[in-house]
Structure 1
Amino acid sequence: MPPVRAVVFDMDGVLVDSEPVWEEVRRAFVADHGGRWPPDTQDRLMGMSTEEWAAYLATDLVEGPTTEEVAYQVIDRMSGRYAEHVPLLPGAVEAVRRLADDHVLGLASSSPRALIDLVLGEIGVAGLFRATVSTEEVDAGKPAPDGYLVAAARIGVPAAACAAVEDSSNGLRSAAAAGMRVIAVPRPEYPPAPDALALAAHVASGLDEVTGELLRSL
């Protein structure tokens, strides 16, 4: 394997503790429209593109709103929440700045473009990423490798020379399918499946472990 020259971050669950916010907002939307929320819903939604999760809510959980209306209303609620407070995870900004010193940075997120730009701008690291990719902009969301492959192409580094930092089952599967070396930083509230975690080259307890020394050891 070639040396790691680039790092591609996920955003939700890696840089920002957004999964609880997404769950609260989507649950509230479903409840407001008289829908149901099966126990496995959040696990299903993690990693889906905007079109995929909006279609799932519109088709399986609520009646009435179209896919486009679901996406617009949920994203609008998320934007309002982030405008009030961006729930940064410990060490997120420090990890981005630390790795940017010696590596090309990219981002492959399941969040829509509007939320990616809002979050990175609010936390002051937007200029450190050579390219960012939303799964709105690719054919398939995670666990398909599309987002990571497009991110690698946009930053100009082969996937085999990239490391990905991920937290969720679908994210780990996506990065591994793209041929990247995967660093897992699992969230205790949303633990990845054992088979997905087994794809990681390294399992970190937090972003403080994600250093240049670690990347050189992969």
Structure 2
Amino acid sequence: MTTTRAEPSPVAAVVFDMDGVLTDTETIWDEVRRGLAAQDGVPWPEGATEAMMGMSTPEWAQFLASEVGISGDPAERTLEGMAARYREHLPTLPGAVEAVQRLAARWPLALASSSARRLIDTSLATLGITDRFEVSVSTEEVARGKPAPDGFLRACELLGVEPARAVAIEDSSNGLRSASAAGMRVIAVPHEAFPPAADALALADVVVRNLDEVTVDLVAGLAAGRERP
């Protein structure tokens, strides 16, 4: 008896990260948080920047208070600083808007971000791509931030798509771990200033140099039912 192997399921949706993928704001987050530490006269711990990438707002606020020693309300102070910087200038990564437009013409899109809701809404509106995303999820709206899979799983749930049939586009170590833990196909777009750890990058199905390489053909080729090597 011959057993026929099932064909891979087609990709049904794409879920973008925001900071470090669409907007070049990872450096701004770092500058604002380090600025708070300087204001409070406390040193910046080694590894603190990388540790907070992907954390939810309550998680990184707690980290700033307990591990860095930021006084007052670290979340509100940070978000005020970020909003002020965004009003001055919101840096966009090359090819970001074009990649969103390109993939939105083929699949439903979602956003799963570690940013606060107000920063997500401001960013998408500033870039003029709010209507390209059917849903967006902030880690303020799920139980755990990245590297836990909660944000990606919620985005897939809202889209009505199985995670195994969705493709995530991420840049950071915690983001790559989160998308992989959710059972999604993963495209890594490493950020030059904050490259992901080797073990996290190894979780990606494909690594690209920039968003111009994230084509419809590339995403469609990540048929989600396939066994990982």
TM-score bracket, shorter-length normalisation? over 0.9
Q: Is residue 25 from structure 1 mapped to residue 32 from structure 2 by the alignment?
A: yes
User: How many residue pairs end up in the alignment?
Assistant: 215
- Partner SS state of residue 182, structure 1: strand
Per the alignment, residue 202 of structure 2 pairs with 198
Per the alignment, residue 227 of structure 2 pairs with none
1:210–1:71: structure 2 CA closer, same or farther, 3 Å change rule? same
* Structure 2: distance between partners of 1:53 and 1:63: 11
* Structure 2: distance between partners of 1:126 and 1:63: 33
Asked whether the 8 Å contact 2:37–2:70 carries over to 1, the reply is no
Per the alignment, residue 119 of structure 1 pairs with 123
Per the alignment, residue 38 of structure 1 pairs with 45
Which whole-Å deviations, capped at 9, do the CAs of 1:123-181 have from their partners, x for residues lacking one? 00001100000011111100000000000011111111100000000000000000100
* Structure 1: distance between partners of 2:80 and 2:134: 27
Asked whether the 8 Å contact 2:156–2:162 carries over to 1, the reply is yes
Per the alignment, residue 100 of structure 1 pairs with 104
Which whole-Å deviations, capped at 9, do the CAs of 1:93-143 have from their partners, x for residues lacking one? 000000000101000000000000000000000011000000111111000
TM-score of the two chains, using structure 1 as the length reference: 0.97
Instruction: Give 1:64 deviation, angstroms.
Output: 3.6
Aligned partner letter, 2:163: A
Among candidates 169, 175, 182, match of residue 186 of structure 2 = 182
Asked whether the 8 Å contact 2:13–2:161 carries over to 1, the reply is yes
Aligned partner letter, 1:163: V
Instruction: Give 1:34 deviation, angstroms.
Output: 1.6
* Structure 2: distance between partners of 1:2 and 1:144: 25
Instruction: Give 1:63 deviation, angstroms.
Output: 5.3
- Partner SS state of residue 165, structure 1: strand
Cα RMSD for the two superposed structures: 0.8
Aligned partner letter, 2:118: A
Q: Is residue 49 from structure 1 mapped to residue 47 from structure 2 by the alignment?
A: no
* Structure 1: distance between partners of 2:202 and 2:69: 35
| Identity percentage of aligned residues | 56
* Structure 1: distance between partners of 2:70 and 2:12: 47
Per the alignment, residue 170 of structure 1 pairs with 174
Among candidates 84, 94, 108, match of residue 80 of structure 1 = 84
Question: Could you list the runs of 4 or more consecutive aligned residues of structure 1 that deviate by over 2 angstroms after TM superposition?
Answer: none
* Structure 1: distance between partners of 2:121 and 2:202: 31
Q: Is residue 151 from structure 1 mapped to residue 158 from structure 2 by the alignment?
A: no
* Structure 2: distance between partners of 1:57 and 1:36: 11
Q: Is residue 16 from structure 1 mapped to residue 20 from structure 2 by the alignment?
A: no
* Structure 1: distance between partners of 2:126 and 2:58: 25
Aligned partner letter, 2:151: G
Deviates more, 1:168-177 or 1:54-63: 54-63
User: Which runs of 5 or more residues in structure 2 are unaligned?
Assistant: 1-7, 223-229
Aligned partner letter, 1:5: A
Instruction: Give 1:216 deviation, angstroms.
Output: 1.7
Aligned partner letter, 2:215: T
Per the alignment, residue 109 of structure 1 pairs with 113
Per the alignment, residue 3 of structure 1 pairs with 10
- Partner SS state of residue 35, structure 1: coil
Asked whether the 8 Å contact 1:95–1:211 carries over to 2, the reply is yes
TM-score of the two chains, using structure 2 as the length reference: 0.92
Among candidates 207, 213, 217, match of residue 213 of structure 1 = 217
